[in-house]
Amino acid sequence: MNWFNKVWIKGLLFLSAFLNLCVYAQENTADETDWLLEDDEFVIVTEVEQSKPLVPEFSEATNSSPWWHTVKTTLQHDITKAQGNEGVERSKIQLDYEDTLHSDLYFKMQTNYRYFSRSDTQAIDKGESYGRSKVQQFWLQYSQDQCAYTLGRQTLAWGEVDGTFAVDVLTPFDFTEQLFTDYNDLRVAQDMLLVDCYLTQKQVQFFYIPTPKTNVISHSASNISVNSSGWEELGMRLKLTYPGFDLSIMLAQLYWNMPGYIPSMNNDDFQFESQKFDFAGLSASLAKGRLLYKWDLAYKSNQVDVISSEKSSTAELALGIEYTTLNNQKLNSGFWQVESLGTDGNDRSGVFTLGWSQQYFHDELAMSLLGNIYQQPEYQNITLLGVYKTTDIYTFSCAVSMANINEEDKALMDGLADRAVSFSFKAEI
């Protein structure tokens, strides 16, 4: 009894009783946790198939599908109203089809018909409204062992820094297109043979274009001839991939088809100047945390200066940086400088860009802002773009642009308005 009366024994018993009570309480807090085992008070009817599905079932969407399920149809109407400038008013119907033809063969086609109404800048240029069909993609891809061979009309983008053309010169921007509405249409597709070989951490790419298309300015070149006999473009790229880092080395023989042109006299006729040139490029991107650093470096021989019409080699450097914030806002900035390596001393021109984008309302609305500062010709512009997907089918886009033009030579600013507002409506099924 004396033993039981000891203080430490009492203390231990008290402690054990307390701990057991804790455990008991934890296990038997009937009032507080019993609800956890109750059945849910509702039934979820997520059978969205109750309404007719907008898309085919999987068995239809994959291998065993009839061919028409892999066809996409797009209807689009674009309008741009520009202050003191010609606008855009055009409609488009586009068909996309892609599918496996055989176990090693893949086919893709994208073709459209576009109608340019009387008030459209291209129709004004031509003197009447007109319709025009275009095959943007039409290629067959064969894959065997480590290599893929793609033959036909296609686009090919090189380089890392978006919106600059230091390296991205193979399938150039098509300036007859409204720039913001559809990236599919933005490039002048080329008929080419493309060979891609994939090795561990490496990709080797070869391309050959027998007859390159270089006119990126207008559909109507009736009064201006471009001598294209004997043209061909070819080149290669080696891409190395490391953790967090991509590096590409490029070599090519190309024709000049960058934005801008110079009229030149040839037998009393105007014609576009398009010079053959050699190209060497280096591109890299480095991901560090939420930052992405990008570089494009290019050397081009025999380049035509838009302002002076003189020819010289150029060294071009594009730097870009992208940052994704914690709440998924994307910020980017870029700088593209062209340095002419002429005998009369170096001539420099540059473009500085600053962009922001963010998605709202569960990705239904995408907003973006892009500002550019050009040194030559000298102007600044800013564009605010909103793209709203009302359903999986319908998309409505609106852009407002403003430009501050300081350039005295107005001929160089053809097509750029002080203020412009654009609308686009698209249905894709």
Partner 1 sequence: MKIKSLKYLVVWIIFFSSGAIAQKVMDANTIMEKMDNQQRNVSDGTFTQSRLSTCRFAKKDKKISCVETPRIKLMESVSKQSGLNKKDSKNISILLEPASERGIGMLSYSYDDNKKDSESWLYLSALGKVKRIASGSSDDQEPTAIFGSEFSTEDMESGKTDEYRYKILQQGLYAGRSVWVIESLPKPARLSKTDYSKILVWVDKERLLPLKMQTYDKRGKVYKRLLFKNIVNIQGYWLARDVTVLNLKTLRLSNMKTEKIALNRQVSEQFLTQRTLTDFAFREKELAVLRELVQ
- Which one, 63 or 343, has the nearer CB to partner 1? 63
Please give the sequence-ordered ranges of beta strands (E in DSSP) within 67-171, or none if there are none.
Answer: 71-82, 88-102, 105-116, 130-144, 147-154
- Which one, 27 or 409, has the nearer CB to partner 1? 27
Q: How far is the CB of 412 from partner 1 (least distance, A)?
A: 28
Rule CB under 8 A: say whether 326 interacts with partner 1: yes
Take residue 364 and report the two structure tokens written for it.
Answer: 């239904």
Interface positions, 158-197, toward partner 1 (CB under 8 A): 182-184, 196
Task: Work out which of 54, 95, 135, 238 binds partner 1, going by CB under 8 A.
Answer: 54
- Which one, 45 or 265, has the nearer CB to partner 1? 45
Q: Which neighbouring-strand residues pair with 196?
A: 148, 205
Spatial contact of 339 and 363, defined as CB atoms under 8 Å apart:
no
Round to whole Å and give the CA distance between 167 and 298. 6
Take residue 77 and report the two structure tokens written for it.
Answer: 């109407």
Spatial contact of 208 and 231, defined as CB atoms under 8 Å apart:
no
Rule CB under 8 A: say whether 84 interacts with partner 1: no
Q: How far is the CB of 126 from partner 1 (least distance, A)?
A: 28
Q: How far is the CB of 387 from partner 1 (least distance, A)?
A: 11
Rule CB under 8 A: say whether 48 interacts with partner 1: yes
For tokens 């898309």, the residue is 55
Task: Look at residue 429 and give its three-state secondary structure.
Answer: coil
CA angle, corner 65, sides to 64 and 69, nearest 5?
165
Stretch touching partner 1 by CB under 8 A, among 124-132, 218-226, 255-263, 359-367? 359-367
Task: Work out which of 5, 7, 23, 84 binds partner 1, going by CB under 8 A.
Answer: 23
Interface positions, 191-250, toward partner 1 (CB under 8 A): 196, 198, 203, 241, 243-244, 246
Tell me the one-letter amino acid at 422: S
Cis geometry, peptide bond prior to residue 53 (ω within 30 degrees of 0): no
Q: How many residues bind partner 1 (CB under 8 A)?
A: 89
Spatial contact of 311 and 302, defined as CB atoms under 8 Å apart:
yes
For tokens 């190395």, the residue is 240
Stretch touching partner 1 by CB under 8 A, among 35-43, 118-126, 270-278, 334-342? 35-43
Rule CB under 8 A: say whether 12 interacts with partner 1: yes
- Which one, 72 or 118, has the nearer CB to partner 1? 72
Tell me the one-letter amino acid at 159: G
Task: Work out which of 135, 157, 251, 369 binds partner 1, going by CB under 8 A.
Answer: 157
Please report how many Cα atoms fall inside a 13 Å half-sphere around the Cα of residue 374, on the Cβ side: 17
Round to whole Å and give the CA distance between 306 and 292. 32
Interaction mask 261-300, partner 1, x per CB under 8 A:
------------------------x-xxxxxx--------
Q: How far is the CB of 292 from partner 1 (least distance, A)?
A: 4
Rule CB under 8 A: say whether 105 interacts with partner 1: yes
